[in-house]
Chain A
Amino acid sequence: MSGERILVNGNHAAAYGVRLARPMVVPVYPITPQTPIVEKISEFQAEGQMEVELVTAESEHSAMSACITASLTGVRVFTATASQGLMLMHEMLHYASGARAPIVMVNVNRTIGSPWGFWPDQTDSLAQRDTGWIQYYCESGQESLDTILQAFRVAEKVLLPAMVVHEAFYVSHSLEVVEVPAQELADQFLPPFTPPHRLDPEIKESWGNTVNQDMFYRHRKTLGEAMDNALAAAKEADADYRALVGRGYGIIEEYRCDNPEIIIATMGSMTGTAREAVDELRAEGLAVGLLKVKLFRPFPLKDVRRALTGVPKVVVLDRNFAPGTGGFLHQEMKAALYGMSDGPEVHGYLAGVGGTNIPPAKIKDMVREALAEKAAAEPVWKG
């Protein structure tokens, strides 16, 4: 049962992934550079290729509000957004995880105003890291397509919403050949969503009522446990998907990490560029590896620590920026590695913030610099 190979951009690839997942309700609101995803889904529906209730909401806030209740009514739900749209949803992102609604959403990373820009920068989704959403970072349309199916499986298992993220233009609007798995395989991987708890007059369960302190405490603790369980669920979903479809990604990826002097750690489209830089540096005789953090929430702490045990240095490349602290992945890595007796020295480079171009040559320079210098506690701006 081999899939169909088509030439599409990253956003349309994501839309094919959504079609395979068979969501029944898709609230939509346009925003560059996400719009081609919901356009394609609308097209699928108009052509009868998808049976779905499309809600053309008046804002991302309303789109997410409708996602939550549709999900709680017991149907599979998808939406997509970017940048300002994600910012407007912020309140409802917390509400979605609190309500334990397993929505899957694609966020296309784009700079947040002010000033206006349309450029690839991961700050929008990374700033939502504490909202209780599972987060996957993808480097290609193929990966986004495959990850959407995995995200539904994980979200519906642990009852938490999941965000599948790829970057503006580098991924969203770049054409690539994508293999679309057969619908039968997708159905086998992702059975229909039939939650035992739902908004249903037959059951009469309510959602969101006021609770006391102890109940709130228990609720947060349970939410945390669900997030912890997402780690194993994500590994399992990826392994099953690999067995069924023939492609898998892991929750982290270690590329040429045999006996390295230094490892580059990064996320999203930067990993593709870094892979090239690693190949070139290896060819030049330098022992360099790449650690791709694909699953960012829950943070794969144990896997990252294992991957970096005994490695002298890690250079973290962040295409995102939190004023006052620095790169998000840099912060997370320092926290994850703290206290290891044989952990690496951590260099944090802000590279590509605002969507500036980071070619392989620049990454090679940064690797050489990190090898030659002692790591600074602060992040370093690298263009």
Chain B
Amino acid sequence: MGYYNIQEEKVFNSGHAACPGCSEALAIRYIINTLGPDSIGVVPPSCIAIISGPQPLSSMRMPVYQTTLEASAASATGISRALKAKGNDHTNVVVIAGDGGTYDIGFQSLSSAAERNEDFIYVCLDNEGYMNTGAQKSSSTPYLAYTTSTPSGKPTPKKNLAEIMAAHRIPYVATATTGYPEDLARKVARAKELKGTGLRFILVLTPCLDGWGVADHAGPKTSRLAVETGVFPLYEVEYGERYTLNFGSKGTPVQAYLSQQSRYKHLRPEQIQEIQSQVDANWERLRERFSVP
């Protein structure tokens, strides 16, 4: 047991290749240490593949299959069905993919796996861009954020993947972030508990120090501000209908979140106000979901 009250089995090890202070390493720790060693991982090209380790090294005490960028959900399907055919009902199959491999190129296979309700856990470590290739825009990149492929700021909003996945009416959809590790670990444990019911999807916001322009020590703080400002509320959805709010907006102005990150440093005051209005509107829209009896 560490600083937090989280039960961990040591599957993820030190000596991995993540940047110092990386939020993804933290997320991976709580994900696979919660799932335990009776698990098989699927990882597409991403920072996660780097963290997982080059041959013959591995930072994870579990088998990991590194697949192609668009095929994670299909690859996990193959493992899950083969285990079923062999009568194995205990081994967890977990995809850990980035937002490029999930929101963009991997979305077709993910949507199909959700429609078929395949029995595995899909975790998207969302750092809002192709950070492993040097910070290009993905469809998860937020409105007006700088990336190397949107040097003037992204002209369109972030795709709402949690809601899209909820619309597939799979057993479990959750949002989480590394600033709330106990909440993250609890959601992974919940997803593990729901093995046998079908696809379980967890979207984890993981601030990228380099890609977002965040100080080395400021990953968790930035993550908490994303929640407190209402930019990234933490909630769960069961079967597309039962919504539970875990941590939502505290009414903190969005500027407090944006000012932590150099990817927003080009913003004019009216642009910050525009983002504030969008965040407020999104938060109001989401709140309606929780008011259903």
User: Are the CB atoms of B54 and A58 closer together than 8 Å?
Assistant: no
Q: A319 in the interface, Cβ–Cβ < 8 Å?
A: no
User: Are the CB atoms of B76 and A59 closer together than 8 Å?
Assistant: no
Selected interface stretch from B109-117, B131-139, B247-255, B284-292: B109-117
Q: Closest Cβ of chain B: how far from A278's Cβ, in Å?
A: 45
User: Are the CB atoms of B54 and A73 closer together than 8 Å?
Assistant: no
Interface residues of A in 75-109 (CB under 8 A from B): 75, 77, 91-92, 95
User: Are the CB atoms of A69 and B67 closer together than 8 Å?
Assistant: yes
Give A189-210 as 1s and 0s: 1 = Cβ < 8 Å from B's Cβ atoms: 0000000000111011111111
User: Are the CB atoms of A210 and B91 closer together than 8 Å?
Assistant: no
Query: How distant is the Cα of A55 from the Cα of B118 in the complex, in angstroms?
Result: 9
5 contacts between A and B (CB under 8 A): A55-B78, A69-B76, A204-B62, A204-B63, A215-B55
Give A300-322 as 1s and 0s: 1 = Cβ < 8 Å from B's Cβ atoms: 00000000000000000000000
User: Are the CB atoms of B78 and A91 closer together than 8 Å?
Assistant: no
- List B contacts of A205 (CB < 8 A): 63
User: Are the CB atoms of B58 and A209 closer together than 8 Å?
Assistant: yes
Q: B265 in the interface, Cβ–Cβ < 8 Å?
A: no
Query: How distant is the Cα of A113 from the Cα of B91 in the complex, in angstroms?
Result: 43
Q: A72 in the interface, Cβ–Cβ < 8 Å?
A: yes
Given known A-B contacts A55-B116, A75-B85, A68 and B75 have beta carbons under 8 A apart: yes
Q: Closest Cβ of chain A: how far from B181's Cβ, in Å?
A: 25
Given known A-B contacts A199-B40, A204-B61, A206-B63, A66 and B78 have beta carbons under 8 A apart: yes
User: Are the CB atoms of A69 and B42 closer together than 8 Å?
Assistant: yes
Query: How distant is the Cα of A69 from the Cα of B64 in the complex, in angstroms?
Result: 11
Q: A57 in the interface, Cβ–Cβ < 8 Å?
A: yes
- List B contacts of A24 (CB < 8 A): 82, 85-86
Q: B71 in the interface, Cβ–Cβ < 8 Å?
A: yes
Query: How distant is the Cα of A199 from the Cα of B115 in the complex, in angstroms?
Result: 25
Contact of A207 among B66, B74, B76, B116 (CB under 8 A): B66
User: Are the CB atoms of B79 and A199 closer together than 8 Å?
Assistant: yes
Q: Closest Cβ of chain A: how far from B91's Cβ, in Å?
A: 6
- List A contacts of B109 (CB < 8 A): 57-59, 61-62, 65
Give A224-245 as 1s and 0s: 1 = Cβ < 8 Å from B's Cβ atoms: 0000000000000000000000
Given known A-B contacts A92-B68, A208-B66, A73 and B39 have beta carbons under 8 A apart: no
Given known A-B contacts A58-B111, A61-B70, A201 and B91 have beta carbons under 8 A apart: yes
User: Are the CB atoms of B54 and A210 closer together than 8 Å?
Assistant: yes
- List B contacts of A206 (CB < 8 A): 52, 58, 63-66
- List B contacts of A77 (CB < 8 A): 78, 82
- List A contacts of B108 (CB < 8 A): 58-59, 62
Query: How distant is the Cα of A74 from the Cα of B88 in the complex, in angstroms?
Result: 12
Number of interface residues of A (CB under 8 A): 42
User: Are the CB atoms of B86 and A69 closer together than 8 Å?
Assistant: no
Q: Measuring CB to CB, which residues of chain A are less than 8 angstroms from any residue of chain B? A: 24-25, 27, 52-53, 55-59, 61-63, 65-75, 77, 91-92, 95, 199-201, 203-212, 215
- List A contacts of B84 (CB < 8 A): 53
Contact of A201 among B38, B42, B66, B74 (CB under 8 A): B38
Q: Quick one: closest B residue to A209, CB to CB? A: B55
Q: B272 in the interface, Cβ–Cβ < 8 Å?
A: no
User: Are the CB atoms of B111 and A75 closer together than 8 Å?
Assistant: no
Query: How distant is the Cα of A25 from the Cα of B77 in the complex, in angstroms?
Result: 10
Contact of B78 among A25, A56, A58 (CB under 8 A): A25
Query: How distant is the Cα of A206 from the Cα of B85 in the complex, in angstroms?
Result: 21
Query: How distant is the Cα of A53 from the Cα of B82 in the complex, in angstroms?
Result: 8
Contact of B74 among A66, A204, A212 (CB under 8 A): A66
- List B contacts of A91 (CB < 8 A): 68
Q: Quick one: closest B residue to A51, CB to CB? A: B85
User: Are the CB atoms of A72 and B65 closer together than 8 Å?
Assistant: yes
Contact of A57 among B38, B91, B112 (CB under 8 A): B112
Contact of B65 among A199, A203, A210 (CB under 8 A): A199
Give B34-65 as 1s and 0s: 1 = Cβ < 8 Å from A's Cβ atoms: 00011110100000011011111110011111
Query: How distant is the Cα of A211 from the Cα of B52 in the complex, in angstroms?
Result: 13
User: Are the CB atoms of B65 and A62 closer together than 8 Å?
Assistant: no
Query: How distant is the Cα of A58 from the Cα of B114 in the complex, in angstroms?
Result: 11
Q: B190 in the interface, Cβ–Cβ < 8 Å?
A: no
- List B contacts of A62 (CB < 8 A): 71, 73-74, 77, 108-109, 112
Given known A-B contacts A57-B112, A201-B37, A65 and B65 have beta carbons under 8 A apart: no
- List B contacts of A72 (CB < 8 A): 65, 78-79
Query: How distant is the Cα of A74 from the Cα of B63 in the complex, in angstroms?
Result: 13
Given known A-B contacts A24-B82, A75-B86, A211-B54, A69 and B63 have beta carbons under 8 A apart: no
User: Are the CB atoms of B75 and A73 closer together than 8 Å?
Assistant: no
- List A contacts of B74 (CB < 8 A): 57, 61-63, 65-66
Interface residues of B in 248-280 (CB under 8 A from A): none
User: Are the CB atoms of B63 and A211 closer together than 8 Å?
Assistant: no
Q: B81 in the interface, Cβ–Cβ < 8 Å?
A: yes
Query: How distant is the Cα of A74 from the Cα of B75 in the complex, in angstroms?
Result: 14
Q: B26 in the interface, Cβ–Cβ < 8 Å?
A: no
Query: How distant is the Cα of A92 from the Cα of B215 in the complex, in angstroms?
Result: 40
User: Are the CB atoms of A199 and B86 closer together than 8 Å?
Assistant: no
User: Which among A53, A74, A91 has the greatest number of chain B C-beta atoms within 10 A?
Assistant: A53
Q: B83 in the interface, Cβ–Cβ < 8 Å?
A: yes
The 6 closest A-B pairs by CB, nearest first: A69-B78, A58-B112, A73-B82, A208-B66, A62-B74, A66-B78
Query: How distant is the Cα of A61 from the Cα of B108 in the complex, in angstroms?
Result: 10
Q: Closest Cβ of chain A: how far from B133's Cβ, in Å?
A: 15
User: Are the CB atoms of A66 and B53 closer together than 8 Å?
Assistant: no
- List A contacts of B38 (CB < 8 A): 201
Query: How distant is the Cα of A38 from the Cα of B22 in the complex, in angstroms?
Result: 46
- List A contacts of B65 (CB < 8 A): 69, 72, 199, 206-208
Interface residues of B in 96-148 (CB under 8 A from A): 108-109, 111-112, 115-116
Query: How distant is the Cα of A376 from the Cα of B49 in the complex, in angstroms?
Result: 52
